[in-house]
Amino acid sequence: MLIAGNWKMFKGPAEASAYCRVLREADLGGCAVVVCPPYVSLPETVQALAGTEIAVAAQNVHWAPEGAFTGEVSAPMLRELGVYGAIVGHSERRQFFGDTDLSVARRVRAALDHQLAVIACVGETEAEREAGETEAVLARQLEAIAEAAPEREELVVAYEPVWAIGTGRTATPALAQAAHAFIKTILDVPVLYGGSVKPENAAELAAQPDIDGALVGGASLDVASFATICREASGA
């Protein structure tokens, strides 16, 4: 069971360090745990969690190793910091910053080529679900990732129904399970659920046979909340 906390644009270096000092001592059950701070807080987070089993991942990565890409960060730069992996293709990157299936695939390939683990995000919007297009959308997104990643040892997929992110709405366990099962017909990799995961629903979601963990957003910003999710998901 893998639980990843996506801090989004929260926690600068000082706050990240303080959070991680508390997280080091928290009871996280039996889960594998990853935290994903903003770029500016990666060095402090890596340092604060050194010597623990808690991994640190970035929230995005560019496909080029270097170049004239103002505002971007490359996989070799992340490796130099001691970062374990990266989220790729989060719905907010697709919605607000122009990421496409092609650019997501290029980011996946670059990360894997530089020995970064990848959490590749897929998911449908509310309009796409209501139109009955969920499987078509997931298939399109997944096939681009699959083509970019013929070797998949370091690849994890996160299913995040866009309509459930930051809204407090959560896919029912049955709905999430159906989506995860479909994803695994295209990509045989672990699949995390992302979309308003919180302590109250973590155990029920994690109990589904094809849900292998969670990508947690807002509920990961508080150590006690995040630790509770980890324990609930692991059955501790």
Run of H or E including 232: helix 223-234
Q: Return the residue matching tokens 């049955």.
A: 174
Q: Return the residue matching tokens 């501790």.
A: 236
DSSP symbols for 152-220: -TTEEEEE--GGGSSSS----HHHHHHHHHHHHHH--S-EEE-SS--TTTHHHHHTSTT--EEEESGGG
User: Active site includes 160?
Assistant: yes
Angle between helices 223-234 and 13-23 (to 10 degrees): 40
Q: Return the residue matching tokens 């992110």.
A: 165
User: Active site includes 114?
Assistant: no
Q: Which of 44, 90, 92, 232 is catalytic?
A: 90
Looking from the CA of 225 toward its CB, the CA atoms found within 13 Å total 15
Q: Which of 44, 92, 124, 160 is catalytic?
A: 160
Q: Which residues are catalytic?
A: 90, 160
